Amino acid sequence: MLSRTWGLCVVLVLAILPGCNNTLNPLCGSARPVPEIGSLAPSTVSFAQVEQGFTLIVNGSNFVGASEAVVNSKLLAASVLSSTQMKVRLTTGVISGPGSVSVAVTTPSGGSGDVGCSSGGTSTALTLTVQ
């Protein structure tokens, strides 16, 4: 009985101590990391390309199969190629004309429940220039 009680105390301490993160908490196995983006390829396109339907490559880290692109505040399905790259098709349904376009990546939370784990989130945004 002593070992069972001790194990419970360890889990409780890990879940409530400030500064504990998903790495330290053994119950965070299904938590998803917050995606990060580093670059867009290309970073400038013509509006004529958008009118034809254009595929944007987003480079970064922590992409998972459930990650989606957020373009001008609209969620778009993306093809996740790897944990560091995804592609998304952009059309005039999302971009209505030349200008600056905000691009971010969001990942919904995993099944980590409420045990002190953070899961998912939205990256900072980069700017795609449409000429």
Summarised one tens digit per residue, pLDDT across range 32-55 is 789 999 999 999 999 999 999 999
**Dist. CA 105–CA 61, nearest whole Å:** 10
Q: Are 105 and 58 in contact (CB under 8 A)?
A: yes
89 or 23, which is more confident = 89
Domain layout of the chain by residue ranges = 27-130
Q: Are 109 and 22 in contact (CB under 8 A)?
A: no
State the first-to-last Cα distance of the chain, in angstroms, to the nearest integer: 69
Q: What is the pTM of this model?
A: 0.73
CATH class (in words) of the domain with range 27-130: mainly beta
Q: Provide mean pLDDT across the span 15-25.
A: 44
